[in-house]
Chains A and B, each alone.
Chain A
Amino acid sequence: MRGDRIFGLVMLVLALGYVLSATTIRSSFMSDPVGPRVFPYMVGGVTMLCALMMMLRPDPDVEWPLGKTLLNLTVALAALIAYALMIKPLGFILPTIIVSGILSYQISPRPQIAALTGVGLGIGLFVLFKFILGLGLKGLPPALMG
C-alpha cells in the first residue's frame, strides 16, 4: 500500500515536472504539424494517469528491507558510486580489488575470503579484459604511469 502510494506520488510530481519542462522546448523553422512537444505531453499525461491509478488502487505492500539489510544495500550503493568515480583516476585494478572485496564480504562475511576474492577478481578480470579480450583498460593510476 504505502510503497505504491509513495511511488505513485513521486511519479505524479515527476510527470508534472516533465510536462512543464516540455512546454519550454523550442520549435525551429523546420516544423511539422505535431512538433517536438506533443509526444512528451502524451507520455507525461499517461504517466500521470497511471500514477493516480497506483495511488488510488495500490497493490498489497511488499516487505521493505530494514535495519541491517538496508545498511548493507546502502553500503553496496555507496561502493558502486565510488567505483564509478574511482575507476578513471585510479585505474582498473585497485578500485576493483576494493569494491569486489566489499561486495564479496557483504554476501559472505569472512574477511580473508573476501580479500582473496577482491584480489583475484581485480587481477584476473584485468588480465581477461586487457590481454585476452583486448579492451583498452588502464590497470594502474594513469597519474603514476605518466
Chain B
Amino acid sequence: MELFDNLALGFSIALTPYTLMLALIGCFVGTIIGALPGLGPSNGVALLIPISFSMGFDAISALVLLTSVYYGAMYGGRISSILLNIPGDEPAMMTTLDGYPMAKQGKAGDALVISGVASFVGALLATIGLMLMAPWLARVAFKFGPAEYFALYMLAFCTLGGVGSNNQAKSAMAACMGLGIAMIGLDQTTNMPRFTFGNMHLFDGIDFLVAIVGLFAVAEVFHFIETHGKNSAIGVKLGKVRIPWALLNQTKGAMLRGSGIGFVAGILPGAGASLGSFLAYMGEKAVAKDKETFGKGNPRGVAAPEAGNNAAAGGALIPMLTLGVPGSGTTAVLLALLLTLNITPGPLLFTERPDVVWSLIAALLIANFMLLILNVPMVKVFVKILMVPSYILLPGVTMIAFVGIYSLTGSSFDMLLMVAFGVLGYICRKIDIPTVPIILGILLGNAMEDNLRRAMILSDGDWLYLLSSPIAIGLWIAAVLGFIAPIFLRQFLKKPPLPTMDGD
C-alpha cells in the first residue's frame, strides 16, 4: 500500500522529539491565538510567519509549527465564543449561538468539552480525508495546463467574491486591487520594471507578508481603537470541568454530520471554515426535531459548527496543497508561508517533496491528539490567558507585527508600507470590502498572469484557447455560477443574529 509507505515516511520525520516539541508549541500558541478575541487563525499565522522565518527554521519545521498554530487557533476560537460571547475568530461565530447560552445556564464546562471533542472529531476526520484525497487530486492536477490554471484562479476569485461577501462589485474590486499590486516590480517574462516609478524599494515588488500583516494585524489595531468599550464583555464563570459522557453520546451524530458538511465546504475554493461552520449549524438545525431549542443552549448547536469549522480547516488544505489555490483567508496565509519557504504547492510537490507533504500530514494527526489534551483537560489554562487585558494585548500584538516585518526585511520603508496596508484594511472593513481577495490577488497575481501568457504562447495569441479543454470549460462555468448564484441564494442563507449580551 502506497498510502502506508507514505505515512510511515511522514511519521518517521514527525515523530522526532524536536518536531514533536514544535508541534506542541504550535498547538499551545495556536490555541491562545484562537482564544484571544481579535486574533484569529489568519492574522495569528500571518504574525508568526516573518518571525519563524527570521529564526531560520527549515521548511518542514516551519510548516509543522505553523500548521499546528493554524489547527490550534481553530480549536481555540470556541473558548471566547462560549465564555465571552465574542468569537475568538470568524469561524467560531456560529459557536456563540448556543455556546454562550449554555455558559449562562452554568454549563460552560460542558460546552467547552463538547466543542473541544467536536473540534477533535472534525479535524481528525478531515485530516484523514486530506490523506486519502490529496494524492488523488494531485494526480488529476497533473492534467492541468496553463489554460486550466488560469480558469482555476478565476474560479477561486469568483467563488470567494460570490460566497464570501455581500457585494460582488466590492469583492471583485478587492481581487483587482491585489492583482494590481502584484504587478508592481520586475515583469517575470521580460524583466522590465512595471509601476515602480523609479523607486528602488519597489523593484522586487511588494512583499506579500508586509501586505498580509498590514491588512490583518495592523488593521485590527485601528478597528479595536475605534470600537473598544462599545462591546465590553462580561465573562461567564467557569466552574469545575467534567466530561459529560451522556451529552457527548447525544451529540455524536451532530459531530459526524458537521464534519462531513464542513469538509466539503472546506474543499470548495473560496468557501473555507466560516462557511463550513455556518452550513454545519444550519444543517444540524434543519434535521433536528427540537428546532426551537437552537440558539438557547442546545449542545448539538455547539457540536455541529465546531466540528464543521475544524473539518473545513482540514479540507481547505487539499486545494491549497494540490493546486496551489487557497480557499480561504487562512489558507491564503499558509500559501504565503509555503512561498516564503520556497515550496511551490501543486501536483509536483507530491512527487518531488513527499517528505514535506507526508510529514505535514503526520504532524497534523499528532497535533490533533495534542490539541484534544490541551483543550479538554487543560482548558482552564487558556481561560486564564483570556483574561489578559486588552490594553496590554493590543500594543503587544502591534509590536510583534512590526518586529516580524523589521527582522524579515530590515527596512523602514516596508514598515511604513505595512502601516499603509493597515489603513487600507481598516477602510475596507468599514465599507465592507473583503480583504481576503486582496491578499489572494497579491499572492496569485504573478502566477495568474504567467499562466495566461504561457497559454497565449501555446496558442499563438488565440484567446479561445482558454476554453479549449473540458476541464477548463467546467472551471469557467463553475466560476461564473459561483459569482452569480449567491446573489439569488443570499436571501435564503441569512445569518442568524448573535445572542444579545443583556436580558438577564
Contacts and interface: CB of A to CB of B under 8 A. Distances in A.
Contacts of B224: 107
Chief secondary structure at chain A's binding surface = helix
A84 B173 CA distance: 29
A73 B194 contact: no
Contacts of A53: 169
B453 A134 contact: no
A36 B192 contact: yes
Interface residues of A, number: 70
Contacts of B412: 84-85, 87-88
Contacts of B197: 21
A43 B180 contact: yes
A92 B183 contact: no
A83 B406 CA distance: 11
A35 B185 CA distance: 15
Contacts of A46: 172-173, 176
Residue from the set B51, B169, B177, B449 with the largest chain A CB neighbour count within 10 Å = B169
A40 B194 contact: yes
Contact of B392 (A4, A34, A39, A117): A117
A142 to B, nearest CB: 12
A62 B228 CA distance: 17
B390 A81 contact: no
Given A31-B190, A100-B399, A114-B391, A80 B422 contact: yes
Interface of A: 3-4, 7, 11, 15, 18, 21-22, 25-28, 30-36, 39-40, 43-44, 46-47, 49-51, 53-54, 57, 59, 62, 64-65, 69, 72-73, 76-77, 80-81, 83-85, 87-88, 92, 96, 99-101, 103-104, 106-108, 113-114, 117-118, 120-121, 125, 129, 133-137
30 contacts: A7-B433, A15-B176, A18-B195, A22-B194, A26-B192, A27-B190, A31-B190, A33-B453, A34-B456, A36-B190, A40-B180, A46-B173, A54-B169, A59-B166, A76-B222, A77-B419, A80-B422, A81-B416, A83-B402, A84-B418, A87-B402, A101-B395, A107-B391, A117-B395, A120-B392, A121-B396, A121-B399, A134-B55, A135-B54, A135-B403
Interface of B: 51, 54-55, 166-167, 169-170, 172-173, 176-177, 179-180, 183, 187, 189-195, 197, 218, 221-222, 224-226, 228, 389-392, 394-396, 398-400, 402-403, 406-407, 412, 415-416, 418-419, 422-423, 427, 430-433, 448-449, 452-453, 456-457, 460-461
